Amino acid sequence: MEPMSIVIIGATRGIGAALADALDGPGRAVTRIGRGITPGFDLLDEASIARAAEAVGPGLRLVIDATGFLYNDRIKPEKSLRQLDPAHLAYSFAVNATGPALVMKHFLPLLAADERAVFATLSARVGSISDNHLGGWYSYRAAKAALNQLMRTAAIELARTRKHAICVALHPGTVETDLSRPFAKAGLDLQTPAQSAQRLLAVIDGLTPAQTGLLFDHMGKQIPF
Ligand SMILES: NC(=O)c1ccc[n+]([C@@H]2O[C@H](COP(=O)([O-])OP(=O)(O)OC[C@H]3O[C@@H](n4cnc5c(N)ncnc54)[C@H](OP(=O)(O)O)[C@@H]3O)[C@@H](O)[C@H]2O)c1
């Protein structure tokens, strides 16, 4: 029997690496994609995304995009409108929304056509507009909200040609990674990447095509947009 063809994008570290480690095993062919793993792969370079897709080819049963960006040495999540910076907004959108949308553009057509196939993009609860009661983090919130809308729109288009396909956004919970480390508060349900990966994979296992286009947390609970 052919091994189940799986792709993890953003497998260099954090939740993406943990997902790839958890999935590696008999009966599965896991391809890890990311900066430094796949020659030239970068979310900011569409040609590199297209080349990575071409290299894996069709018949994919599971694709998880675990990339994302919150801060770096120069960019910090905004606490106030006063800190809003067009370059920060543009960069957050490029990595958290445009890049993952280009991943959908090049990888959704590679999903298996005649059997259950899942595409999941890692989003965040803070991208939910209706769940925003705290404010702050303008760029990250807005880019994740855009990602949710892009995923939803792609899911509708995908359903026209692949009735067994599922395309969702997932919130991994608070996970101890480089991305969350400066912000994770003690007392929160702080998970290791391996714990979050196990929960996310259990959620993915339970999804049906009727749930395509939605946002779920790591416990399988739907988050309103
Ligand atoms: N950790 C949490 O508590 C938490 C909570 C809610 C949502 N999330 C979401 O979960 C996802 C994974 O987060 P994480 O905590 O695992 O973050 P992480 O450890 O910082 O990993 C981020 C991943 O994104 C990749 N990436 C960033 N910019 C890229 C680019 N331009 N091109 C290609 N890859 C790029 C990184 O690759 P490099 O190694 O090459 O930099 C890395 O693989 C993100 O979407 C994040 O928003 C995380």
Q: Please tell me the pTM assigned to this model.
A: 0.98
Report the distance separating Cα 100 and Cα 83, nearest Å.
Answer: 26
Per-residue pLDDT for 186 more than 70?
Answer: no
Q: Tokens 């409108």: give the residue.
A: 81
Residue for token digits 């106030």?
Answer: 80
- Is 179 near ligand 1, meaning CB less than 6 Å away? yes
pLDDT of residue 155 exceeding 70: yes
Ligand 1 contact, 139 CB (< 6 A): no
User: Does residue 198 have a pLDDT over 90?
Assistant: yes
**Ligand 1 site, residue 34, Cβ cutoff 6 A:** yes
Ligand 1: which atom is nearest the Cα of residue 122? 45
Q: Which of 122, 148, 188, 203 to mutate to test the pocket of ligand 1 (most atoms within 8 A of CB)?
A: 122
Is 58 exposed, middle or buried, given 0-12, 13-18 or 19+ CB atoms closer than 10 A?
exposed
DSSP 8-state code for residue 147: H
Give the span between the Cα atoms of 223 and 195, in whole angstroms.
Answer: 20
Q: Can you say whether the dihedral through the CA atoms of 224, 221, 180, 196 is positive or negative?
A: negative
C-alpha 197 – ligand 1 centre gap (Å): 13
Q: Which residues pair with 118 in a beta bridge?
A: 62, 166
Please answer whether residues 183 and 77 qualify as being in contact, where contact means their C-beta atoms are separated by less than 8 angstroms: yes
Ligand 1 within 6 A of CB of 15: yes
Structural domains in the chain, sorted by start: 4-217 (3.40.50.720)
Q: Cα separation of 203 and 219, whole Å?
A: 7
Q: 40-98 pLDDT, tens per residue?
A: 999 999 999 999 999 999 999 999 999 999 999 999 999 999 999 999 999 999 999 99
- CB of 14 closer than 6 A to ligand 1? yes
Query: What residues form DSSP beta bridges with 35?
Result: 38
| Strand 215-217 versus strand 4-9 pairing type | unpaired
Nearest CA to ligand 1 atom 45: 68
Closest CA to 169 of 125, 132, 108, 103: 125
Which whole number is the average pLDDT over 183-212? 92
**pLDDT band for position 189 (50/70/90)?**
confident
> Do residues 14 and 177 make contact, with C-beta atoms less than 8 angstroms apart?
yes
Element (H, E) at 175: strand 174-175
Kindly give the distance from the C-alpha atom of residue 105 to the centroid of ligand 1, in angstroms, as a whole number.
19
pLDDT classification of 185: cutoffs 50, 70, 90: confident
